[in-house]
Chains A and B, each alone.
Chain A
Amino acid sequence: MLKPKQMSRLLIAASRDQMTPVVTELYRHHLFHIEEYVEGGKAGYEGFKIGTPLSGASEVSIDLLKIRAIENAVSINADDMDPAQSGTRAELKARIERELPVLANEVEELTQKRGKLENKVKEFEQKITEITPFADIPADLSVYRGYRDFTVYAGYVAKEVSLSVPNEMQFVKGKEKNFVVIVALSAQKGEVERALQEAAYQSVQIPDETGSPQERIRFYTEQAAALNKEIAGLSAKLDAVRQQHAGFMVACEEYLRAEAEKSEAPLRFATTKQTFVAEGWVPSDKVEEISAALVKATGGRVFVDVLPMDLEHDNVPVEYSNPQFAKPAQMLMDVYSRPKYTEIDPTLMLAIVFPVFFGIIVGDVGYGLIFLAMCLGLQRMMKGEDGQMFLKVLRNASISSIIFGLLFNEFLGFELTQVVGWVLGFGGVPNLIHGYAGFIMPSRHLLIGATEAGGHGPAIPALMIMAIWIGILHITLGRVLGMYNHAKQDHGEHRTKTVMANFGWLAVMWGILVAIWSNVAMPYMPDLTGLPVVAAGFTLGTFIGAALILVGVICIARDSVLEVIELPTIISHVLSYARLVAVGLSSVAIAMVVNYMAIGMFISPGMKELSIVGIVMIVVGLVIFLFGHTLNVALGLLGGGLHSIRLHYVEFFTKFYKGGGIRYVPFGMKRKFTEE
């Protein structure tokens, strides 16, 4: 919690003949994050080279390429398939040897046949397009070629061509361009070509055909149709192959991929003629397990040691360690950047605060329920792990929206209490009309379409102050975490300076607040105007505030003078939290406008007289209602999600969080279709 999983640096050295058992064992445990060896860098590794793949790597690769080509041909995607075991490893290996070549041949034959047919169809289509221009000229296609003294010109022209030399011409007027065929003496070539050029002539290939053009087109169309039928047959056969062998193929691919990864592991090790050395990372609580397993697998002919960690220079891979409910939020962390090993992992805070922000922005029971239903529906359909995580984040956010909807007393832009009253039978049709003070939280209802005088309207100042308070607290938390991170990561004088700089930012922010409070009385904020006046008409509070600001600026400047120009961001970042209210209000406004248009302008008048016009009006009203709220659901999702996460990324994380840690990718794989 708040910290990544603890890692240890492990060094494994053995003689080369132990390579296979060591690699197999490491792969099986799926815990060892290999630190790749790059030639010619590290001290202590003089004379070492990158290793060569284990034997059999080439054969495995060939099979793997084959299987992937087949999967591609019959369009199998392993991600879309449910995990299922298919036989033991030995069985699988035997089946690969026995069945893969047969299967490959079958698929190859089918795809090649299909490819040939498809090419044929294309050829026919090409021929059809070649003949089409000639279709309107009532002449056999054979008359266009085979002359000794004549030249045949065929092509498109922009305007009619007039020739001064003897010729035979066929002109077909078209919509965009005109088609022309001219037969003229070859001896007068120059003259003809000049005339054609004037008419912006584009030549067309003369088809190598005999017979009437119409007939030829019909003939080729029929041929292509017949081939297409054949292609469909072949595709059906390929489909049958997929149905029958999909399970085998994905299992096969997984097995081979594992084999390939294992046999190529030495490319990431440092080797000499006789020995090899692998360095990497394992979770500290697994060191014993791995070492024991390696010793056992090699019969004790291996050297395993935990190396000391150098937190400043080592790139320790990072694996999250969070309570179950916070795990989905890791996805949002990875979108930004994975934490460094040495810094605080803010996933837990994100997991709690993100849904709260989302709830404040959306704050509507109706929309919350719609989001929730969408999540639960999609959760069944989506298969990928990332998608599931995302949906869980959204689920938490929608539950929070429902809670805040209750507090704000909102349901699709109506007042929840009124809707409940109407459903239960006391009270009339929900009256969207008058503004209404909120239930527990300040009201967000606007005066859209108000018919009664004296509505409250939204409690904007109260809402704003609430958002500002959230901002102040969130940023303060961020700065405190920043102090902690710097205290932990930095050293010596630099450390004091950076910690003090973070304190400085805090001091400036609170100094400004105290100074404001001392001069202006604001609702829901401490009122310090009553403090005794000290000098020049300013109260004690003003001086305290000014002192805090001064101390803060000095602290910041001591770390970096340039940072001082960033001071205005203190105000802009705090005010930025106003979006929690502003975006929410705009969403309420849209909902209310939709309701007013749908009910106030169409449905209510329509209900008054149930003639055809009335019914049409009701239908139009319902369409507006559905369309408007669908739009608002989409906007709410985008606005609620984006703004909440942005407040974290920009306003919160920039105060303490660096990120840039590397992902912990242990050597091995999560098996879906094969056994260990």
Chain B
Amino acid sequence: MGVNISAPYIYVCTRMRVRKAKLLPREEYMRMLNMSVAEITRVIEETEYKQEIDELGTAFKGIDLVEVALSWNLAKEYQKIQEIAPGTLKGFTHAYLRRWDIQNVLTILRGKVQGEKPGKIKEILIPAGSLDKVVLDRLLSEESNDRIIELLKGHRMFPVLAREFPAARESGSFSHMENELYKQFYAEILADAKAGIKGASAFLSYIQLEIDIKNAKTLFRLRVDAQTDEDVRDMFVAGGTLSINDFTSLDSIRDTNEFIDQLKVNFRNESLHALMDELKGQKGSISGIEVRLTRVQLEQMEKMSKRNPFSIHPILVYLEKKKYEVFNLRALARGKESRLPSEKIAEYLVM
């Protein structure tokens, strides 16, 4: 595997491991489940989020303060890591973070359709991809979605956007476009990873894992909302260890136990097998299953990063885990704000 033991690699990978160790532990979330939004804000103010919350504390309060602070912190973290990533790892980090372009553009488009204020949309944008703060601000200041798409001319997302947007506007649902964007994204980073750069094989193994898990999530989702008009083949992303055909044939199995057995046959992944064994015979909610699949992915990534301690893996593990920490805190804050019971919120947390 692409292991390169030179000082900058060791330096950055060690930093990532230490940062990962500083992420909030499970017990902390358990305690936060018993707290109010203000208390949660204060508790994270005493950790890595201090700078953002202090800076924003005069201008925002309540749930807005948490939301903005989390976004800022995540963006800052991502930018910082892009800066320090050494050698070829920098390129892989950029490639990995490009997914935020999709996320951001879709957030803006959806927000505009729902008539949200630009300020409100801005709170949850993460300027970490190739579109920076300035560009995102320009996009936000546009009134119509057509203009926004036009402004993105020249960006690698533009062809897909131009192709899919009219239909999406007609139907009012962006999910098909989202899917297409991600498919393009994965196709592109797969091409990057196969370009034969030093350390690319480690990156490739990660992308394949992610695509597999993403497809597995789609599988479970398809079993719940049984009827869709769309072609099932269209829903899966190509390029994982399993082909799209494998997934469609898996999808056609109706019996749950048989489905799970087949999944186990197809994947060589111990943590996934363990999860499948648990799922057998019990009916969990789809969000619960997704959270657990995410955990499987994180566990597997953790194993990979132990095997390749000075590769892209430690960086990716941290980036992913940090993302889920921010998601968790956001879910906690939003859940508390809308007075959901703790058990309900806990279901959405990736711990």
Contacts and interface: CB of A to CB of B under 8 A. Distances in A.
A111 interface: yes
A267 B42 contact: no
Interface in B1-28: 27
A61 B59 contact: no
A50 B38 contact: no
Given A61-B39, A260-B42, A73 B30 contact: no
A267 B34 contact: yes
B38 A68 contact: no
A106 to B, nearest CB: 10
B58 interface: yes
A39 B30 CA distance: 9
A69 B39 contact: no
Give the contact-size bracket for chain B.
Answer: 20 to 34
A244 interface: no
Give the contact-size bracket for chain A.
Answer: 20 to 34
A449 to B, nearest CB: 40
Contact of B38 (A62, A70, A71, A107): A62
Given A51-B34, A57-B35, A57-B36, A64 B58 contact: no
Given A112-B58, A264-B35, A267-B34, 14 more contacts: A38-B27, A50-B34, A53-B34, A53-B36, A57-B35, A58-B36, A65-B61, A69-B56, A70-B58, A72-B55, A104-B58, A111-B58, A112-B59, A260-B42
Given A39-B30, A61-B41, A65-B45, A72 B35 contact: no
A57 B39 CA distance: 7
Contacts of B37: 58
A36 interface: yes
Contact of B39 (A51, A58, A66, A70): A58
At the interface, is chain B mostly helix, strand, loop or mixed?
A: helix
Nearest to B42: A61
B58 A107 contact: yes
B55 to A, nearest CB: 6
Q: Which of A61, A65, A68, A115 has the most CB of B within 10 A?
A: A65
Contacts of A107: 58
A108 B57 CA distance: 9
B53 to A, nearest CB: 7
Given A38-B27, A65-B45, A53 B39 contact: yes
Contacts of B31: 50, 267
Nearest to B154: A203
A210 B56 CA distance: 37
B38 to A, nearest CB: 4
A68 B45 contact: yes
Interface of B: 27, 30-31, 34-39, 41-42, 45, 53-59, 61, 65
B59 A108 contact: yes
Interface string A38-65: 1100000000001111000111011011
Q: Which of B31, B53, B55, B56 has the most CB of A within 10 A?
A: B31
17 contacts: A36-B27, A38-B27, A38-B30, A39-B30, A58-B38, A65-B42, A65-B53, A65-B57, A68-B53, A70-B57, A72-B54, A111-B59, A115-B59, A264-B35, A264-B39, A267-B34, A267-B35
Contacts of B58: 66, 69-70, 73, 104, 107-108, 111-112
A68 B54 contact: yes
Interface in A58-108: 58-59, 61-62, 64-66, 68-73, 104, 107-108
A52 B39 contact: no
Nearest to A256: B42
Interface string A16-41: 00000000000000000000101100
Nearest to B37: A58
A88 B305 CA distance: 55
Contacts of B65: 65
Interface string A249-271: 00000000000100010010000
A38 B25 CA distance: 12
Nearest to A110: B58
Contacts of A65: 38, 41-42, 45, 53, 57, 61, 65
Contacts of A66: 57-58
A266 to B, nearest CB: 9
B42 A52 contact: no
A50 B26 CA distance: 13
Nearest to A51: B34
Contacts of B35: 53, 57, 264, 267
At the interface, is chain A mostly helix, strand, loop or mixed?
A: helix
A69 B27 contact: no
B30 A64 contact: no
Nearest to B31: A267
A138 B20 CA distance: 57
Given A69-B57, A72-B54, A50 B39 contact: no
Nearest to A266: B34
A87 B54 CA distance: 26
The 3 closest A-B pairs by CB, nearest first: A69-B57, A72-B54, A61-B42
Q: Which of B35, B45, B56, B58 has the most CB of A within 10 A?
A: B58
Contacts of B41: 61, 65
Nearest to B28: A267
A61 B36 CA distance: 9
A439 B39 CA distance: 67
A51 B30 CA distance: 11
A59 B54 CA distance: 17
Contacts of B27: 36, 38
Nearest to A66: B57
B271 to A, nearest CB: 21
Contacts of A68: 45, 53-54, 57
A564 B49 CA distance: 49
Contacts of A111: 58-59
Contacts of B38: 58-59, 61-62, 65
A349 B30 CA distance: 43
A407 to B, nearest CB: 42
A408 to B, nearest CB: 39
Interface string A384-396: 0000000000000
A58 B38 CA distance: 6
Contacts of A38: 27, 30
B33 to A, nearest CB: 8
Given A61-B39, A61-B42, A64-B42, A72 B57 contact: yes
Contacts of B30: 38-39, 50
Interface in A263-284: 264, 267
A257 B42 CA distance: 10
B34 to A, nearest CB: 5
A62 B54 CA distance: 12
Contacts of A108: 58-59
B159 to A, nearest CB: 19
Contacts of A36: 27
Contacts of A61: 36, 38-39, 41-42
A298 B27 CA distance: 30
A386 to B, nearest CB: 19
A546 to B, nearest CB: 43
Contacts of B59: 108, 111-112, 115
A68 B34 CA distance: 23
A58 B32 CA distance: 12
A353 to B, nearest CB: 32
B102 to A, nearest CB: 25
A58 B62 CA distance: 11
Contacts of B39: 53, 57-58, 61, 260, 264
A260 B36 CA distance: 12
A59 B27 CA distance: 23
A66 B59 CA distance: 10
Contacts of A64: 42
B52 to A, nearest CB: 10
Nearest to A109: B58
A107 B42 CA distance: 20
A255 to B, nearest CB: 14
Contacts of A62: 38, 61
